[in-house]
Chain A
Amino acid sequence: MTHATDSGPTPVLALDGVSKSFGAVRALRGVSLELLPGEVHALAGENGAGKSTLIKILAGVHRPDAGRVLLDGAAAAFHGPADARDAGIAVIYQEPTLFPDLSIAENIFMGRQPRRALGLLDHRAMLTATAALMARLGVALDPERPARGLSIADQQIVEIAKALSFDARVLIMDEPTAALTGSEVARLFAVVRTLREQGAAVLFISHRLEEIFAIAQRVTTLRDGAWIASEPVDGMTEDDLVRRMVGRDLDELYPKQDVVPGEVALSVRRLTREGVFTDVSFEVRRGEIVGLAGLVGAGRTEVARAVFGVDRWDGGEVDLDGRRLVNGAPSVAMAAGLALVPEDRRAQGLVMGMSIERNIALTGLRTTVRAGLMDRAAERRRSVDWAVRLRVKHARIADAVSTLSGGNQQKVVLAKWLATGPKVLIVDEPTRGIDVGTKAEVHRLLGELAADGVAIVMISSDLPEILGMADRVLVMHEGRIAAEIPRAEATEEAVMAAATGRAA
């Protein structure tokens, strides 16, 4: 399976028996892969299977310990990301890598800006090209605005624009859709199809299996760093793919338990933040899971942040268990039993340089203090317990969170907040970048929490997830709640209609 057969076209880019270890962790073990021109190749595998590591080797970020990278059939030695880029390889990394102080246009063209005479930068050309890219992706981001403060979805869009902005023969995308909703994904896929027809080779990673079936022609599966299979997508089912990834059959994906809702736990009335969201009112009862749906930028994350107190609101009130929450005071909200799992794990959720153990323990500092001192043993027990429950794949619990794969970092954020034993839990994109197996686990966990009487607000761009888990769906459109749909009537069409403002 490793060498180009004499029948097919030469792969533009290929890996031949590549291995890579980080200390004791063997991230890749003798993996081979061929990217053909005019083909979208998907890469599937659980969290920590080695997908991002593989991509970083193709991108020249990591050097393989063994094996070769082949460019047009000849061995290539990439000494850094610039070499890979000059060879026509465009990469979207799993974690957005933007310059917060620079404009979107500069972010897109950094390192290869258009020049005028004398090597001077052509700022105008850069802005025009950026505007054209944004139009092509169907988004209205201002090219001159700095990247600071962009939502995760918008950051991902900038990353996509960056990759599209140059003459790429190979386009590599590590979970580009993780934070995007259906419409953005459709736009991206349209662009990818055009590129493919023009002869580009595309490598695509996603934990949303339906996306793999929608866009890819071949799929390669990795498990624990080892190559499992490379096969055409035609004729495969999602179950086949899951079995390759996980090595067993999977439990039901949305194990929703029916819970009789108790009294009102969280009540939000006429909440307004000027220019961001307006007149948002809703209630969540004990044992209830309320889904918050809407397009990227509809204001869902912003409502969650305001309710929790990280952002101030300009009008309205929030009650938790009958207690009025204080505007802009997360510590009051936490003390009252509110927890928020934020969407941006790197910026808001984790202390990247700190160990897994300490990150999980951070929120529980108060409960693990004994006689004024931190009880390290209790802290460790609790952290290990949660890491195991969420199947965080790690070498040692004392390792820095930054060494974990993207999906496993997300699990640590979840563990950190679930460990506080909240009465009301707001989760913002709880399964972003989490593999199918663990997704089911997270859903089971949320279901159990609800059964224990926790009130849950779930924000998700993954519509099937909302439909599968929520008792009620609130749909936001342009900063307002556009519709409230009970579980029985919640269909994909109904939600999308309200989200795009088509509903009455």
Chain B
Amino acid sequence: MTVTTPTPTPATEVPSSNGARLVDRVFKMRELAILVVFLAMIAITQAGNSEFLSEQGIKDLLLNATILVLVATGQALVVITRNVDLSVGSTLGISAFAAGTYLQGGGSSVVAVLLAVALGIGCGLLNGALVSLGQVPALVVTLGTLYIIRGVDSIWVGSRQITAADLPGGFVDFGSGGVFAVPYLALIALAVLVATAFCLKHLGGGRELYALGSNPEAARLAGIPLRRRILTAYTVCGALTGLAGALYLARFGNVDSATGNGYELTVVSAVVVGGVVFTGGSGSVYGAALGALLLTSINSVLPALGVSSVWVMAINGFLLVLAIAVDRVVALRVARALRKRAVSSSNGRSGRRA
């Protein structure tokens, strides 16, 4: 007895979907909008300073974005589930230092990266376990782990410091090398980004992250293992942050106990500017990555234009508020379009019956 047995009703083909297309377009537009702002900014800067887009200039732009893109990708997963991870700055710092000390002792680069990732996974598991079991808001829990991890880091690191001179040459070269103007690090970040986006769209677990962020109660009734999914989101976030820590080490070669201090706020800003809604259930990792690219390039654009970098923070803040305002307006528009669509489709329905 299958309920999907053929019935006398002829199955229509998928009806044309203006509503869905519109919504789809809006979300694409959201990502497109960031891209446009980004390109405009680059174009203006280039016009004012023709040195800006030299091969080295492009490389710097991408290198600066890489680490933020990685962490923002992980953070986006967590935010989609209606949670947040404020401990990413601390995790980044401690995993970078761990990889550094290991390399200092003459370890291999690959193992160093794996070590950083493992440490990140550890931090992610801790966060995920506390949030999913504790029934305490993620904001509070991860604020706690932010200080705990930073505290452990400070005690362990003390006043020590790792410099590029302590690291194997190959590792540092990898950090600054690349294919033409594209750094290896950026390629790694891009690969991770594409893989994550693919999993979110094409794996059941990925869609379930959206579901539980959209309506946790309904997710529970749909039999989705809430705790396991939240744990997974935090673990992946931790792993990507750990990886970012290792890349940070390769890029800057300089790590101490303050590395990554305050980084969480930049990450969260990037995610929100990128259109990942803070109340969960919507947004994409591509958006978050674009947000990261936009925020980091402001840091390069202003000096190139001769503007003092004291403006950076104010502009970041402005972008954040603007992004939220745009989201709100877009949400209202979409709601309105959907309502119209719903009415006209039901009208079509009753019309058919008549």
A-side residues, CB < 8 A to B, are 59, 61, 80-83, 85, 91, 93, 97-103, 106, 110-111, 113, 115, 119-121, 127-129, 131-132, 134-136, 138-146, 148-151, 154, 164-169, 183, 191, 194-195, 198-200, 274-277, 295-299, 302, 477-479, 499-502
Contact = CB atoms under 8 A, between A and B. Distances in A.
B353 A297 contact: no
A111 B113 CA distance: 35
29 contacts: A80-B223, A81-B221, A81-B222, A83-B223, A85-B223, A99-B210, A101-B281, A102-B207, A102-B211, A110-B211, A111-B208, A111-B224, A128-B13, A128-B14, A138-B9, A140-B346, A142-B345, A144-B14, A146-B338, A154-B346, A166-B3, A167-B2, A195-B1, A200-B3, A274-B340, A275-B340, A295-B346, A295-B349, A478-B351
B17 A169 contact: no
A99 B339 contact: no
Nearest to A302: B343
Interface string B3-31: 11101011111110111110110000000
A151 B345 CA distance: 12
Contact of B224 (A110, A143, A146, A183): A110
A99 B342 contact: no
B338 A297 contact: no
A303 B32 CA distance: 36
A298 B350 contact: yes
Interface stretch (B141-149, B212-220, B290-298): B212-220
Given A99-B218, A129-B4, A149-B342, A110 B347 contact: no
Contacts of A502: 354
A99 B5 contact: no
Contact of B20 (A81, A139, A145): A145
Contacts of B214: 99-102
Contact of B207 (A80, A106, A128, A169): A106
B57 interface: no
Q: Which of B18, B223, B341 has the most CB of A within 10 A?
A: B223
A95 to B, nearest CB: 9
Interface of B: 1-5, 7, 9-15, 17-21, 23-24, 201-204, 207-208, 210-211, 213-215, 217-225, 281-282, 334-335, 338-354
When A and B form their complex, which 7 residue pairs have the shortest distance between CB atoms, in order from nearest? A297-B346, A82-B223, A144-B20, A97-B218, A101-B281, A145-B19, A99-B214
Given A120-B203, A297-B346, A142 B339 contact: no
A297 B5 contact: no
Nearest to A99: B214
Contact of B350 (A120, A142, A500): A500
Contacts of A119: 203-204
B323 to A, nearest CB: 18
B342 A154 contact: yes
B335 A139 contact: no
Contact of A103 (B20, B222, B346): B20
Nearest to A499: B350
A137 B12 CA distance: 12
Which of the listed residues B2, B217, B335, B353 has the most CB atoms from chain A within 10 Å of its own CB?
Answer: B353
